[in-house]
Amino acid sequence: MSETTEPTGTEEEKVETENVETEVLEAEENVAELKPKEEDFKSKFYYLAADMENLRKRHDREREQLIKFGNEKVLSGLLDVIDNLERTTAAIENDEDEKIKNIFVGIDMVRKQFLDCLKNNGLETIESIGKDFDPNFHEALAQQPAPDKREGEVITEYQKGYVLNGRLLRAAKVVVAKND
């Protein structure tokens, strides 16, 4: 009779234990392989999240700038209209004719209303006369001797300057005092 030895309970347990140990080792190897990938995915996720936040902030800034300065071109074109209204009022201001005085009052009211409307949209006049010359806001057309004025003081304004929401729209054209 040939003797075949069947595994006893302890041998079956050994085989099963070896199989479990093998599976555990394989699982640990898989986890070890997946760990760097997980870290890579985490870093990519954080990078994309930060990038998305930066994109949102940049979009908000650009939208704010567009709202603030979107009408710059239109307002720049209206500066000539303001200049013409001011020239008109200056020309007829001292006229003695009653009809001309009434026309002056009407034109001056329109000019003031127009300036108020532009001011409500962020346009401000640059104050020049009596101020020190500032190349950021003034364009010097000439220098004139003026012994009773400070050196570099603006003494005459040929054209008003304007600022839109803190940004220079047009520099004031001025004459500056010069003391020899």
Do the domain assignments include residue 5?
no
- For residue 39, what pLDDT is reported? 83
Do the domain assignments include residue 129?
yes
What are the phi and psi torsion angles at 98 (to 5°)?
-65, -40
| DSSP designation for 72 | H
Examine the domain organization and report whether 129 and 78 are in the same domain. Answer: no
Residue type (1 letter), 73: K
Separation of alpha carbons 147 and 74, rounded Å: 41
DSSP letter for each residue of 110-145: HHHHHHHHHHHTTEEEEP-TTSBP-TTTEEEEEEEE
- For residue 74, what pLDDT is reported? 85
- For residue 121, what pLDDT is reported? 85
Domain that holds residue 106: 71-121
Do the domain assignments include residue 163?
yes
What are the phi and psi torsion angles at 152 (to 5°)?
85, 5
Examine the domain organization and report whether 82 and 133 are in the same domain. Answer: no
Do the domain assignments include residue 88?
yes
pLDDT tens, N- to C-terminus, the chain (180 residues):
445 555 555 777 777 787 777 887 777 777 777 777 778 888 888 899 999 999 999 999 998 888 777 788 888 888 999 999 999 999 998 888 899 999 999 999 999 999 999 899 889 999 999 999 999 999 999 999 988 888 889 999 999 999 998 889 999 999 999 887
Encoded tokens for 156: 């005459």
Cα first-last separation, the chain: 136
Question: Which one of 49, 69, 89 terminates a domain?
Answer: 69
CA-to-CA dists, residue 156 to 29, 46, 175, angstroms: 85, 60, 5
| Number of domains the chain is built from | 3
Residue type (1 letter), 135: P
Examine the domain organization and report whether 80 and 110 are in the same domain. Answer: yes
- For residue 57, what pLDDT is reported? 94
